[in-house]
Chains A and B, each alone.
Chain A
Amino acid sequence: MQITTTINNKPVTLTVTPDEMLADALRTQGYLSVKKGCDTSCCGLCTVWLDGKPTLSCNVLAFRAEGKQITTIEGVQQQATEFANVLVAEGAEQCGFCSPGFIMTVLAMKNELKNPSEQDIIHYLTGNLCRCTGYMGQLRAIKKYLGVA
């Protein structure tokens, strides 16, 4: 089946199967930042934005993106790099495999929450697993990036 959607502000028509997940469709289209880490919708690696909201692309059937705005980290490179600079200054990207999904969630949080507390930040990002860093460095980076005390 064909769907019409927008990826990173570019209108596209995609041919997908009814059971194809958005994460796979995006990788096929060359958006290789989209990583898959779990198969059971609970690691956060594949997070992209659907109409601006952080969403597990591995758990969204691709046809449901019809008419929606999809944003991957390839589409927000400038913002992503701004935050990534803070993140790597902390050494908190480590293996980096969870970083694209993590950064997409951080940027979504920045757009959604005003003056988040440390607890708000932790809550918002709980769905982004990371096995390398132990999360503390990521938290330091976010607080620096958002100017949270």
Chain B
Amino acid sequence: MFTIQNLVQPPTLAEAYSVLTSNKKSTVLGGCAFLKLGSKKIDTAIDLSKLSLNYIKELDDFIEIGAMTTFRDIETNPLLNKLFNGVVPQSVSKIIGVQFRQVVTVGASVYSKYGFSDLITALLALDTEVELYQAGRMPLQTFLDGSYPRDILTKIFIAKNERQACYHDLRNSASDFPILNVAVSLLAGDWRIVVGARPTRATIALGASAQLAVGDFTPEKIEQVASLAATEVSFGSNISGSAEYRRAICPVLVKRAIMEVAQCK
């Protein structure tokens, strides 16, 4: 159980950021589900509840999602269920249960770059950007690969385009962490293959994605690309499965995802 000494509920992001940077032992509170697994002693907890960051907005070119939006909001959002073959709601829908998804937030999940994240895998397959209060707006991939000073993730943007995507995973039991998850997307000949829960965080299999875009789209080609994806990303072992097993099933999930996306019209 974590403990909190002091709580602040800043009225502006500027103040929240100032508290965060002035006190090393401060922590921004998201849905607190992950915090609850540990026994962190928080000196000052920063609660963003008063900043109206719980929303899903449709803009001209983007879907904008506030950091405090819950997974349940994502799951039930009509727009997100319509766009991208419903891949975003699909990716979060297996996580524990509705009452859990009612509390965990998009911002905390993405900012924490969790290896087991289902959401990040799906978001990476789309044209997603994140906005940090201080570091500004950047592609999700850039954020995941980079290392930034303590900051506050305020929102994410998903480009509103015709990208078709799907999400596959394998779990030991239905509500367990994924042993491996895969998202594949396609926009006008541009394929993207994402492999997550390796068990480290999701990454794009760039080589495989690029190869899929060139030449004929044949069953042999799909096999070959799927195998390539499994060789170009790395895998590790944890309680859910071994690196060897992950590497072995990666092509299977990738292939199934490619086939499914290919059938999306």
The residues of A with any CB-CB pair to B shorter than 8 Å are 1, 17-19, 39-42, 44, 47, 50, 53-56, 58-61, 63-64, 101, 105, 108, 123-128
Q: Is B13 an interface residue (CB 8 A)?
A: no
Q: Is B214 an interface residue (CB 8 A)?
A: no
Please give the distance in Å from B104's CB to the nearest CB on chain A: 8
Q: Is the interface of B mostly helix, strand, loop or mixed?
A: mixed
The reply to whether B72 and A59 form a contact with Cβ atoms under 8 Å apart is no
The reply to whether A105 and B3 form a contact with Cβ atoms under 8 Å apart is no
Please give the distance in Å from B218's CB to the nearest CB on chain A: 35
- Given A123-B93, A125-B97 in contact, is the A56-B102 Cβ separation under 8 Å? yes
Q: Which of A39, A55, A108, A124 contacts B103 (CB 8 A)?
A: A55
Residue-wise interface mask of B (1-24) relative to A, using a CB-CB cutoff of 8 A (1 in contact, 0 not)? 111111100000000000000000
Q: Which residues of B contact A56 (CB under 8 A)?
A: 99-100, 102-103
The reply to whether A55 and B102 form a contact with Cβ atoms under 8 Å apart is yes
- Given A59-B36, A63-B47, A127-B97 in contact, is the A41-B4 Cβ separation under 8 Å? no
Q: Is B187 an interface residue (CB 8 A)?
A: no
A18-B29 Cα distance, complex, nearest whole Å: 12
Q: Which residues of A contact B93 (CB under 8 A)?
A: 123
6 closest Cβ pairs, A-B complex: A127-B97, A18-B7, A19-B4, A18-B4, A54-B99, A55-B102
Residue-wise interface mask of B (62-105) relative to A, using a CB-CB cutoff of 8 A (1 in contact, 0 not)? 00000000001000000000000000000001001111111100
Q: Is B251 an interface residue (CB 8 A)?
A: no
For chain B, which range describes its interface: under 10, 10 to 19, 20 to 34, or 35 or more residues?
Answer: 20 to 34
Q: Which residues of A contact B47 (CB under 8 A)?
A: 61, 63-64
Q: Which of B7, B31, B99 contacts A105 (CB 8 A)?
A: B99
Nearest B-chain residue to A56, judged by Cβ: B99
Please name 16 pairs of A and B residues whose Cβ atoms are closer than 8 Å in the assembled complex, sorted by A: A18-B4, A40-B36, A41-B33, A41-B96, A53-B72, A56-B99, A56-B103, A59-B31, A59-B36, A64-B47, A101-B99, A126-B97, A126-B98, A127-B99, A127-B101, A128-B99
Interface residues of B in 221-250 (CB under 8 A from A): none
Q: Which residues of A contact B98 (CB under 8 A)?
A: 54, 105, 108, 124, 126-127
A40-B2 Cα distance, complex, nearest whole Å: 12
The reply to whether A59 and B103 form a contact with Cβ atoms under 8 Å apart is yes
A127-B100 Cα distance, complex, nearest whole Å: 7
Interface residues of B in 39-54 (CB under 8 A from A): 42, 45, 47, 49
Q: Which residues of A contact B96 (CB under 8 A)?
A: 41-42, 126-127
